[in-house]
Amino acid sequence: ILYLIGYLLWFKLLEDIPRARYHYLASIIDRMIPFAEIFIVPYISWFALQAAWVSFLFFYDREAYDKLVTILMFGMTVFLVVSTIYPTALTLRPWHVARDNVFVDAVRWLWRIDTATNVWPSIHVYNTTALMFTLFTTKDRSVIQKVRIPMCVWCVLIILSTMFLKQHSVGDVLSGLALAGIGYSLIYIKGLVMTFRSFDRRVEQVIEVRYLN
């Protein structure tokens, strides 16, 4: 939670402070991808999915939780540093959307509060991929197996939504996937994991004292 507060403050500074020059990232493929407002549903659900899945692993599998939190912090920090040094932007959002429905209204609201800057690599894609890693690396998979397929499908829809809503380019998506691969090699293969066992022990001691009393 403390890290998230720091991340949001840094990100807000990047969004609010005007930069002298932005590097615009787009390709012919990006302009071929149609705008589809229905993807606002999986895109917005990303926030709730992260919070719910991190909370679930906190109680279900602390080792998986530690790895997930570590890889999330790694990628989000890299994103902040990259965005500070190499500010990026997109010009893919349509000037006018002829359709008028609740999904279009939601997209307009999203575009108002989220500028088309600081887009590379895509944290939507990176964090979503990091969540999928946990579906295949937890030790006790009895519960995970029941939600693995629908979770993977939903995560793929979230990744696609970043392009169909013109929030990110194909390059942003690929860079997010590549960064997730680097994070996986460091955290899941090399074992560079932050743990919070001292906090766990203090909580256990408090519970034990209260139980004995």
What pLDDT score was predicted for residue 200?
60
Q: What digits encode the pLDDT tens for the residues 13-43?
A: 999 988 889 999 889 999 999 999 999 999 9
Average pLDDT estimate for 160-186: 97
Task: List the structure tokens of 3.
Answer: 């890290």
What pLDDT score was predicted for residue 209?
56
Identity at 161, one-letter amino acid code: S
Q: Are 178 and 168 in contact (CB under 8 A)?
A: no
Q: Give the integer Cα–Cα distance in Å for 95 and 97.
A: 7
Residue 159: alpha-carbon gap to chain centroid: 10
More confident residue, 123 or 140: 123
Q: Is a pLDDT exceeding 90 seen at residue 108?
A: yes
Name the nearest CA neighbour of 58 among 123, 132, 134, 6.
Answer: 134
Average pLDDT estimate for 115-132: 96
Alpha helices in 114-169 (DSSP H): 123-137, 144-164
What pLDDT score was predicted for residue 201?
61
Annotate 96-133 with b (16+ C-beta within 10 A) or e (fewer).
Answer: eeeeeeebbebbeeeeeeeebebbbbbbbbbbbbbbbb
The count of other CB atoms within 10 Å of the CB of residue 5 is: 9
Q: What is the pTM of this model?
A: 0.89
Tokens 């493929």 sit at which residue?
Answer: 29
Q: Is a pLDDT exceeding 90 seen at residue 66?
A: yes
Name the nearest CA neighbour of 72 among 89, 57, 88, 54.
Answer: 54
Q: Give the integer Cα–Cα distance in Å for 8 and 49.
A: 18
Identity at 136, one-letter amino acid code: F
